[in-house]
């Protein structure tokens, strides 16, 4: 455990930020999973709707600083490509 006042504060801040990042990443992963489930089910309409919901969530995760912008771009690109091709795996 930290001994200095500043180190105690830093520990407290890091815990709060870690929880915030976990929440944001969890929301993003859930949105991505909904798209993938729609792809596996073969439902093109549901997949496109889920993608419309997932893209802003992924972008918001970048805005919050939980993931890198290029990671988000890669995820969005791959999801969009899969929805356009309607591939269940990839």
pLDDT tens figures, 1-55: 778 999 999 999 999 999 999 999 999 999 999 999 999 998 889 999 999 999 9
Domain that holds residue 59: 28-90
**CA 76 to CA 68: how far, in whole Å?**
13
**Prediction pTM value:** 0.84
> pLDDT at position 89, please?
56
Q: Answer yes or no: is 5 within a domain.
A: no
Q: Answer yes or no: is 49 within a domain.
A: yes
CB atoms within 10 A of CB 79: 22
> For the chain, what is the domain count?
1
> pLDDT at position 18, please?
97
Distance from the Cα of residue 4 to its chain's centroid: 35
**For range 64-71, the mean pLDDT:** 96
> pLDDT at position 24, please?
96
Write the CA distances from 45 to 56, 57, 84, integer angstroms.
Answer: 18, 19, 11
Q: Answer yes or no: is 18 within a domain.
A: no
Q: Are 35 and 79 in contact (CB under 8 A)?
A: yes
């Amino acid at each position: 455990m930290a001994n200095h006042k500043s180190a105690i504060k830093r520990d407290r801040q890091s815990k709060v930020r870690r929880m915030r990042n976990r929440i944001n990443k969890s929301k993003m992963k859930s949105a991505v999973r909904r798209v993938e489930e729609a792809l596996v089910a073969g439902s093109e309409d549901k997949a496109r709707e889920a993608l419309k919901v997932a893209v802003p969530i992924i972008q918001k995760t970048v805005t919050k600083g939980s993931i890198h912008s290029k990671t988000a771009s890669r995820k969005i690109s791959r999801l969009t490509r899969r929805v356009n091709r309607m591939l269940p795996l990839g």
